[in-house]
Amino acid sequence: MNVVIPESRRRMGRGFLGLDREHGFEPMEVRGTIPDDLRGTLVRNGPSLFESFGHKYQHWLDGDGALSHVAFDSGTARGGVRVTVSLELREERERKRALYSTGFTLGPSWWRRVGARTKNTANINVLSWQGRVFALTELGLPIEVDPSTLETIGPSDLGGVASDGLNAHVRIDRTTGCTFAIGLSMGLRTELIVYALPTVGPASVVTQIALDHMTIVHDFAQTETRWIFMAHPIHFDIGGAILGTSPAAASSRWAPEEGTEIIVVERRAPHRVSRFKVPAFFHFHYGNAYDREDGTIVVDLCAYKNPDAFDVMTVERARSGEAWVLASTATLERFVLDVGRSSATRQTICGEAVDFPSTAPSLQGTRHRYLYALLTRDDREHIAMIDCDSGSLVVGDAGPDIFVGEPTFVAKPSAQDERDGWILTNAYDASRNVSGVQIYDGRDLTRGPIGSAWFAHSIPYSLHGTWVGREG
The least CB distance from residue 380 to Fe ion, in Å, is 21
From 10-18, 109-117, 233-241, 280-288, give the range in contact with Fe ion by CB under 5 A: 280-288
In the bound complex, what is the minimum distance in angstroms from residue 48's beta carbon to Fe ion? Answer: 17
Residue 117 C-beta: closest distance to Fe ion, Å: 24
CB of 40 to Fe ion, least distance (A): 21
Residue in 69, 59, 66, 110 with CA at minimum distance from that of residue 89: 66
Q: Kindly state the helix (H) or strand (E) to which residue 143 belongs, with its residue range.
A: strand 143-145
Residue number, 230 or 339, with CB nearest to Fe ion:
230
Q: Which of residues 282-311 bind Fe ion (CB under 5 A)?
A: 284
Min dist. Cβ of residue 463 to Fe ion (A): 6
Which of residues 284 and 409 has its CB atom nearest to Fe ion in the complex?
284
Q: Region of 14 please: left (phi>0), alpha (psi -120 to 50) or beta.
A: alpha
Which residue number, 284 or 455, has a Cβ lying nearer to Fe ion? 284
Closest CA to 425 of 401, 456, 396: 396
Cα–Cα dist 155/171, whole Å:
21
Q: Which of 120/246 has CB closer to Fe ion?
A: 120
**Is the CB of 339 or the CB of 384 nearer to Fe ion?**
384
Could you tell me the smallest distance in angstroms from the CB atom of residue 339 to Fe ion? 26
Per DSSP, 225 falls in state S
Q: In terms of CB distance, is 38 or 302 closer to Fe ion?
A: 302
Q: Which stretch binds Fe ion (CB under 5 A): 146-154, 263-271, 276-284, 385-393?
A: 276-284
Q: Which secondary structure element, helix H or strand E, spans residue 325, and what is its range?
A: helix 322-326
The minimum distance between CB 355 and Fe ion, in angstroms, equals 9
Question: Nearest 5°: phi and psi at 265?
Answer: -120, 130
The residues with which 403 forms a beta bridge, in sequence order, are 428
- Closer to Fe ion by CB, 284 or 403: give it: 284
Contact 44, 425 (CB under 8 A): no
Report the residue number, 180 or 284, with the smaller CB distance to Fe ion.
Answer: 284
Residues in a beta bridge with 209: 192
Rounded Cα gap, residues 200 and 178, in angstroms: 9
Cβ of 105: how many Cβ atoms within 10 Å? 23
Distance in angstroms (rounded) separating the CA atoms of residues 377 and 34: 27
- Are 60 and 16 in contact by the 8 Å Cβ rule? The answer is yes
Cβ 336 to Fe ion shortest distance, Å: 24
Q: How many residues bind Fe ion (CB under 5 A)?
A: 1
Assess contact for 120 and 88: CB atoms under 8 A. yes
**Shortest Cβ 441–Fe ion spacing (Å):** 25
Site string for Fe ion, 80-109 (x = CB under 5 A): ------------------------------
- C-alpha to C-alpha distances, 26 to 15, 141, 436, 453, 454, nearest whole angstrom: 21, 29, 13, 12, 11
Contact indicator for 392, 349 with CB cutoff of 8 Å: no
CB-closest chain residue to Fe ion: 284
Which C-beta is closer to Fe ion: that of 302 or that of 315? 302
Candidate ranges 143-151, 197-205, 277-285, 329-337; the one touching Fe ion (CB under 5 A): 277-285
Residues making contact with Fe ion (CB under 5 A): 284
